[in-house]
Amino acid sequence: MIKAILWAIDGTLLNFEMSEKYAIRKCFEIFELGECTDEMLAQYSRINRTYWERLEKGELTKQEVLVGRFKEFFERQGLPVEKAEPFNNEYQVRLGDKAFYNDDGEQLVKQFKERGIKQYAVTNGTLIAQQRKLKLSGLDKLLDGAFISDVIGIEKPNIGFFDAVWKEIGSYEKDEVMIVGDSLTSDIQGGNNTGILCCWYNPQGHENAEGLRIEYEVKDLREIRKLT
């Protein structure tokens, strides 16, 4: 019986892509960089993904990811690279301007709460962005706690991140805790590292190229009701 759920936020409970598009276009306006097209957003998204994967593998620091992705994107687009760092700072704020749930996620969290299942956010997002998102979405009140890598000082999937979680939430058997996330290299790898149940949120039907242990795979968060 699952007694606690560790939720990834971006790309799982909340639709990160929609927030990302809004935030980048808003920053383009603020910094007077002209039009940000769908093609530009797609290129940025690909660059961003590679930087976060390198962070999860320990190849980059968080700051190298946050600024480096925009430097590379600006270089490819012929935009002023010196604006990459202030652009990122503003972007972190704007990410918290809008919050969009995936798959009726708010009601799902409420239902689990009513059933007495403990629920926590586990995220590698920046402190300023995640605090604003959690407050705007109401998750700060619905969840039993939030673990943000900027506060812990260690990112998922590092076992040290999850050690900090266990220290705070108390003792559970490994088969009583389930992590739900969209990232194989962050969420599912983290679940594998710490030995808890892993639920991969995979709405696009990607392959498990990492060969990781996955107990459950869902395309819609509402499918999790029948797992608990």
In the numeric block, the tokens 């600006």 are attached to 74
C-alpha to C-alpha distance for 8 and 214, rounded to whole angstroms: 15
Expressed as residue numbers, the domain containing 111 is 4-15+99-227
Give me the mean pLDDT over the 188-212 stretch.
96
Q: Are both 32 and 145 inside the same structural domain? A: no
Yes or no: say if 161 and 149 are a contact pair by the CB < 8 Å rule.
yes
What CATH number corresponds to the domain at position 33?
Answer: 1.10.150
Q: Are both 146 and 184 inside the same structural domain? A: yes
Q: Are both 35 and 11 inside the same structural domain? A: no
Q: Which tokens belong to 32? A: 């007077």
Q: Are both 150 and 222 inside the same structural domain? A: yes
pLDDT reading at 57 higher than 90: no
Q: Are both 121 and 209 inside the same structural domain? A: yes
Q: Are both 122 and 142 inside the same structural domain? A: yes
What CATH number corresponds to the domain at position 169?
Answer: 3.40.50.1000
Q: Are both 106 and 89 inside the same structural domain? A: no
pTM for this predicted structure: 0.91
pLDDT tens-place string over residues 10-30: 999 999 999 999 999 999 999
**Domain tally for the chain?**
2
